[in-house]
Amino acid sequence: MELFAYMRTFNLGAVTLRLISAVICGSLIGLDREMRNKRAGLKTHTLVCLGAALCVIVSESINLGRTGVTTDMTRIAANVVTGVGFLCAATLIVKGTGFISGLTTAAGMWTTAIVGLACGAGWPEIAFIAVALIAFVFVVLSRIDERIQVISRGFDLYAELTSYEGVPKLLGMLHVHDVYFTGLQVSKSPVGDGVIVQLNGHTSKLGQKEQVIESLRKLDCVKYLEHF
């Protein structure tokens, strides 16, 4: 299309369109994260995409505007991707259970930066295709992933028990349901007299996981239980 070809020229109008396309792409990606109440949402993704696009444009302007001064566009792009990696790390949360949340948001933000690079380089059509694929991952694949998690056999278990006497009861219930487990860790709770149990479980049948978890929650020795 003529519009896309025009955006690969370097003038004020083309640069403005590149930045606008970066804002649109970043906001479309961030909208999903915002609706899911994630730490990095609409504004963060939009700014990451816009900033990445601006880096490419500034690099291109230095090459074209100053005689004898050149920059390596690939080095700037690589540094943008690396720099955004540190920002992505801020979205990760390591819970007391050892479970890490925010990985999808971090990956989405990192990809958003690359989309911004495409916009800044004057390839908005590639950026919009990437946004469509990112939306597919966030919306469609996330639902498939949720379904797989429900019917899968493997799970990580984190449980807070009232005392050490509750450990045999919990393990006995796992045995009743024919759950094989590894990586058993038993430690004293940092708060109160409770006990923390962590393990990796594997059910013998598909779709049995929720039944096992419900049975464990009904034990009188269980104060809190979470599975991943």
pLDDT digits (tens, 9 = 90+) for 146-187: 777 767 788 888 999 998 989 999 999 999 999 988 888 888
199 forms beta bridges with: 157
79 or 219, higher pLDDT: 219
| pLDDT higher than threshold 70 for residue 66 | no
In this structure, what token pair is assigned to residue 82?
């690396």
* Confidence grade of residue 139 (pLDDT, cut at 50, 70, 90): confident
The Cα 209–Cα 16 span in angstroms is 53
Report all structural domains of the chain as residue ranges with CATH numbers, in order of start.
Answer: 2-149 (no CATH), 152-227 (3.30.70.260)
In this structure, what token pair is assigned to residue 143?
């639902």
68 contacts: CB under 8 Å, gap ≥ 6: none
Q: Give the per-residue pLDDT at 102.
A: 75
pLDDT in tens, 9-33: 888 898 999 999 999 999 998 888 8
| pLDDT higher than threshold 90 for residue 8 | no
- Rounded to an integer, the average pLDDT of 115-142 is 90
Q: Give the per-residue pLDDT at 204.
A: 83
54 contacts: CB under 8 Å, gap ≥ 6: 19, 22, 120
Q: Could you tell me which of 116, 193, 124 has the C-alpha nearest to residue 162?
A: 193
With b for 16 or more beta-carbon neighbours within 10 A and e for fewer, the 52-65 pattern comes to bbbbbbebbeeeee
The Cα 49–Cα 54 span in angstroms is 9
**Identity of the amino acid at 203:** T
Dihedral of CA 175/198/164/215: which sign?
Answer: negative
- Rounded to an integer, the average pLDDT of 25-50 is 85
Going by their DSSP bridges, the two strands 100-101 and 154-161 should be labelled as unpaired
Q: Give the per-residue pLDDT at 115.
A: 93
| pLDDT higher than threshold 80 for residue 69 | no
Residue for token digits 């020229």?
9
Q: Crossing angle, helix 12-35 and helix 103-120, to 10 degrees? A: 170
- Rounded to an integer, the average pLDDT of 47-76 is 75
> How many contiguous H segments (helices) and E segments (strands) does the chain have?
9, 6
The Cα 128–Cα 115 span in angstroms is 8
* Confidence grade of residue 129 (pLDDT, cut at 50, 70, 90): very high
Q: Give the per-residue pLDDT at 98.
A: 56
* 3-class DSSP assignment, residue 100: strand
Distances (CA, A) of 184 to 47, 157, 170, 181, 222: 44, 10, 12, 7, 16
The Cα 121–Cα 176 span in angstroms is 60
Q: Give the per-residue pLDDT at 169.
A: 92
| pLDDT higher than threshold 60 for residue 53 | yes
The Cα 136–Cα 140 span in angstroms is 5
Q: Give the per-residue pLDDT at 33.
A: 81
The Cα 115–Cα 130 span in angstroms is 7
32 forms beta bridges with: none
Q: Give the per-residue pLDDT at 68.
A: 54
pLDDT in tens, 70-126: 556 677 777 887 888 877 777 776 555 555 667 788 888 889 999 999 998 888 899
